[in-house]
Amino acid sequence: MALCKAMIIGNLGADPEMRYTPNGRPVTQFNVAVNQSTKNQQTGEWVEETDWFRVSVWGDRAERAAENLRKGNRVFVEGRFKTREFEGNDGQKRTSLDVTADNVISLDRKGRDDDGAFAGAPAGVASGGSSRGPADDTDLDDLPF
């Protein structure tokens, strides 16, 4: 048995795009930017690098992701890596590392309500299992990744 699991936290680079396959199954795709700061060993300066991941979400989760996510949203994506080969604009064959999502969770807090009170904690957007809603008091800084 083989296991290939991906977990990323980043920000959406654009609004998600939802479409339907010929047999009517919904799929939503979006790109997630993951920033990482590393220290240049020669200059001692901090350099920020960004990796982009193309994420696909299928079925009911695809519809929820398309409805609830927007450009700039911070998300946690859990899924499987899949390689995809394509031909670039220059005619060269290229390989892309994509993520087929099992779970997508928005890490953005909801806005304030009409009375100015804070409306809630992060909620699951497209979870495959049981989703913890706004009553969840998990501190994101305590997550093991």
Domains in the chain: boundaries = 6-111+119-129
Query: Between the CA of residue 68 and those of 62, 103, 124, 131, 136, what are the distances in Å?
Result: 10, 14, 10, 15, 19
SS3 content of the chain, % helix, strand, coil (to 5): 10, 50, 45
The answer as to CATH 1.10.3210.10 being correct for domain 6-111+119-129 is no
- Closest Cα partner for 19 from 82, 66, 72, 71? 66
Rg over CA atoms, the chain: 18
Low-confidence ranges of the chain (pLDDT < 70): 110-145
What is the reported pLDDT for 86?
87
Cα dihedral value 128, 13, 139, 49, nearest 10: 120
| pTM beyond cutoff 0.75 | no
What is the reported pLDDT for 3?
77
Q: Which residue has the tokens 């009517």?
A: 24
Distance CA 55, CA 100 (A): 6
Q: What is the pLDDT of residues 8-50, one digit of tens each?
A: 999 999 999 999 999 999 999 999 999 998 888 888 899 999 9
